[in-house]
Amino acid sequence: MLSAFFIHIAVIIVIYAILAVSLNVAVGYTGLLNLGHIAFFGIGAYTSALLTKNDVPYIMALLASGIFASVFGWLLAKITSRLKGDYLSLATLGFGFVVYAVMLNWSKLTRGPLGIAGIEKPNIFGWYLKGSGSYLIFASIIAAIIIFIIYKIVKSRYGRLLEAVRDDAIGAQALGKNIYKLKIQGLMISAFFAGIAGSLYAHYISYIDPSTFFISDIIVIFTIVIVGGLASLRGSVISAIIILGLPEMLRFVDLPSSMIGPMRQMMFAVILILILMFKPRGLFGKIDLE
């Protein structure tokens, strides 16, 4: 059934839209180039999967995913607090690698490369999300709430403080605002929502393993965020639709399945390079990538 296919794409887009928006909070608004953002996604996914496997009710697991991921956001902010520029981004990348290595090696907890299969569909106060259609509705509701919350944050005075941190404004320091604390909070917020996205992902796909949260997915979300434009929530959402929707057109061309995977990755890479070369602000971006 074709509509089953479209619903599937829609769910993925919604989840990645949340992920992209959360990354934008860190990169676009707080100016922290977190190349390891996918780690928060993965931590949320594993947290939610493991908790529900141990009979924790879904809503609690969902929240726990966000909270636990934000703890790691705090950790990352602490680790990189004295770093800037190249050092900062590379350290965040290193952080992402280490989280991946832990997922891979702490097999008593995560089952390592075997992954966790059979992650159950959520049951929310009696609403059992068995079908993809109902999952789409649920995910969309969560996404709408999250985007609304983030919108409120960035438009508020607090949001302007974050942007001041990004712009390295002398004004921010002069006002006596604790830049250090703001950076930590920015990363924690970013991580929290990425963790929620991770939970949504895990319970939709029903199987996760460490390889999902490694390099190639880092490239995908950065492509989405950069193409959409930094500091633009609308940009991230629309970009997610385009970037994830476009390669699906490949399925309608008669290609052997072994070619679709690599071609998809190549499409992402090409789009990213083209945007960086010709329109680095992205579609709706307000600032340059620094």
Q: How far is the CB of 249 from another protein (least distance, A)?
A: 16
Residues facing 208 on adjacent strands: 116
Q: Is 98 in the site for another protein (CB under 8 A)?
A: yes
For another protein, the binding residue among 216, 242, 250, 281 (CB under 8 A) is: 216
Residues facing 265 on adjacent strands: none
Q: Name the residue nearer to another protein (CB basis): 65 or 80.
A: 80
Total chain residues near another protein (CB under 8 A): 88
Cα–Cα dist 209/217, whole Å? 13
Residues 3-22 that bind another protein (CB under 8 A): 3-8, 10, 13-14
Q: Name the residue nearer to another protein (CB basis): 41 or 95.
A: 95
Q: Is 222 in the site for another protein (CB under 8 A)?
A: yes
Whether the CB-CB separation of 17 and 41 falls below 8 Å is answered with no
Q: Is 233 in the site for another protein (CB under 8 A)?
A: yes
Extract the tokens encoding 162. 């974050």
Cα–Cα dist 47/81, whole Å? 26
Q: Is 206 in the site for another protein (CB under 8 A)?
A: yes
Q: Is 124 in the site for another protein (CB under 8 A)?
A: no
Q: Name the residue nearer to another protein (CB basis): 147 or 196.
A: 147
Q: How far is the CB of 193 from another protein (least distance, A)?
A: 15
Q: Which of 75, 47, 71 is nearest to 61 (CA)?
A: 47
For another protein, the binding residue among 132, 185, 199, 239 (CB under 8 A) is: 132
Q: How far is the CB of 166 from another protein (least distance, A)?
A: 13
Q: Which long-range contacts (CB under 8 A, 24 or more apart) does 163-169 make?
A: 163/29, 163/30, 163/31, 163/231, 165/30, 165/31, 166/28, 166/29, 166/30, 166/31, 166/287, 167/31, 167/287, 168/31
| Helix pair angle (58-79, 179-205), 10° resolution | 140
Q: Is 54 in the site for another protein (CB under 8 A)?
A: no
For another protein, the binding residue among 56, 63, 71, 104 (CB under 8 A) is: 104
